[in-house]
Amino acid sequence: MDNIIEAKDVWFHYQSESFEEDAPIKEVLKGVSLDIKRGEFVAVLGHNGSGKSTIAKHFNAILTANKGEIIVDGINAADDEKLFDIRQRVGMVFQNPDNQIVATIVEEDVAFALENLGVDPAEMRERVDNALKDVGMYDFREHAPHQLSGGQKQRVAIAGIIAMCPDCIVLDEPTAMLDPIGRKEVMKTIKKLNRENGVTIILITHYMDEAAKADRIVVMDSGQIILDGTPKQVFKNVDLLKEVGLDVPQVTELAYGLRKNGIDIPDDIITEEECIEEIIKIIEKAGK
């Protein structure tokens, strides 16, 4: 499986607000190296200020590295002449769907970028319909966005990106402003796009249960990657995650507490089903 995104020793700092020439530079990213394979579902975790959103914005050239390289499908993201090519390959969905919805009718909003690109009307119609079906919003195509719930709006925003036919979608905390029902709707859409359509997903999130559904988790702290592995590999590091201000899934926390109290239960439990199975084993063993 080839890489769709490669970050090579990426350093980045925002422009200082100070006018002093010798003002200290605060590096937000400090030598980040990361490969994302085509078709992967990767969750990126980190507390506020860890650099997770900053590295995400490098993946479709919203930001450009001060040092190091970002390669997107073989294209150097620092090449200004290739900006359009990069953003066709990597789409980005932000936290607040209201900031991405620009039209007064759902299907017109999804078609907005395609119209600007001069896509043929027949192809545009097909792309818009397919994108809305992919996110389960086809029946709402003639509705006004302001009449939709937060989760529905976010799915329309995702449809607008899907219509561009990107190979990869970066979602920067897309469920942060949603209620539990909206979060569930959006996560179902994300998983469907990845599993059924083969779209590479990079999910920036602070919800541990969302991260647990990914193929791989990358944890950032102070502008560097401190953990990278499967959900089971990452969430077994409970003490380290707590040290950098992160939680673990509730069921992992339960297993962690049981182990601290002398109960022999595996340290890589991330689902309720796994936990129930192990607790039943412990009870059965104790009863013998």
In this prediction, residue 178 carries a pLDDT of 86
What is the distance between the alpha carbons of residues 173 and 102, in angstroms, rounded to a whole number?
A: 20
In this prediction, residue 1 carries a pLDDT of 65
**179 contact partners, CB below 8 Å, separation of at least 6:** 150, 151
Say which DSSP state 22 is in: T
pLDDT tens-digit readout, 218-249: 999 999 999 999 999 999 999 999 999 999 99
In this prediction, residue 270 carries a pLDDT of 92
The enclosing H or E element of 69 equals strand 67-72
What is the distance between the alpha carbons of residues 27 and 202, in angstroms, rounded to a whole number?
A: 23
**50 contact partners, CB below 8 Å, separation of at least 6:** 220, 221, 222, 223, 244
The answer to whether 161 and 92 are in contact (CB under 8 A) is: yes
Which overall architecture, per CATH, does domain 3-248 show? Answer: 3-Layer(aba) Sandwich (3.40)
The model's confidence at residue 116, banded by pLDDT at 50, 70 and 90, is confident
In this prediction, residue 118 carries a pLDDT of 87
pLDDT tens-digit readout, 178-205: 888 988 998 999 999 999 999 999 999 9
In this prediction, residue 17 carries a pLDDT of 61
- Percentage of the residues of the chain whose pLDDT score is greater than 90: 75
pLDDT tens-digit readout, 12-63: 998 766 556 666 678 999 999 999 999 999 999 999 899 999 999 999 999 9
DSSP, residue by residue, 70-125: EEETTEETT-GGGHHHHHHHEEEE-S-GGGT--SSSHHHHHHHHHHHHT--HHHHH
